[in-house]
A = this chain, B = another copy of it.
Amino acid sequence: MKFAFIVYDGMTLLDFAGAYDPITRLKSMGFVNDFVYDVCATQKTVRTFEGLEIKADKVNNALNTYDYIFIPGGNGIAGLLKDTVLLNWIRNISTNTIMTAVCGGALLLGAAGFLKDKEATTHPGLIQYLKNYTPKVSNARIVDAGNIITARGVTSAIDLGLYLCEKIAGGEVRQKIQKQMDYQV
């Protein structure tokens, strides 16, 4: 079970961290022993929108070897879609991979060509841009459209992470992880 977290200049740190925390607990809490996760980017170091520098585990690696890929959002449509190097790289994700995104990450999936006729959601302020990529926009917190799973604004990254924990390891594991995270239901 291989999971890739995409990171890039200008991304929102909490979009990434909100999903990274529950998903990496599949490994650290001993639930999925063959679980492998990588932080992947088009460059060795990226700077988040807030100014934090973080280091990628893998640079420009082949994304079609992963079972799951997660894409965070960033600040505004203009900032998100100017990174053509990033867009060209994520175009190589296999459609056999389950592609997940939070907030503006859904726009990146759209711009990369993966959202045609797929139902998807994003931050309420970005819905108008999501319509450029699919007619099936939703305001649900999480939308599971098979190989594309999207979530709304930044705090929904935690909900998406827990949703993926359940999908990968079942409801009982999800319950244990969200309890350990002191998640309020």
Where the two chains meet, the residues of A that have a C-beta atom closer than 8 Å to any C-beta of B are 12-14, 16-18, 20-21, 24, 28, 39, 45, 49-55, 57, 75, 103, 123-125, 141, 152-156, 158, 180-184
A53 with B50: CB separation less than 8 A: no
What's the Cα separation between A16 and B54 when bound, in Å?
Answer: 13
Q: Chain B CB within 10 Å — which of A17, A49, A124 has the most?
A: A17
A39 with B13: CB separation less than 8 A: no
Residues on B with beta carbons closer than 8 Å to the beta carbon of A180: 125, 153
What's the Cα separation between A141 and B184 when bound, in Å?
Answer: 10
Distance to closest chain B CB from A129 (angstroms): 16
Q: A53-B55, A55-B52, A55-B54 are in contact. Are A182 and B124 (CB under 8 A)?
A: yes
A20 with B13: CB separation less than 8 A: yes
Q: What residue of chain B has the Cβ atom nearest to residue A180's Cβ?
A: B153
Q: Chain B CB within 10 Å — which of A52, A53, A156 has the most?
A: A52
Distance to closest chain B CB from A107 (angstroms): 15
A181 with B153: CB separation less than 8 A: yes
Q: List the 5 closest A-B pairs by CB distance, nearest first.
A: A153-B182, A17-B17, A14-B21, A53-B55, A24-B50
What's the Cα separation between A124 and B180 when bound, in Å?
Answer: 9
What's the Cα separation between A52 and B18 when bound, in Å?
Answer: 14
Residues on B with beta carbons closer than 8 Å to the beta carbon of A184: 141, 155
Distance to closest chain B CB from A9 (angstroms): 14
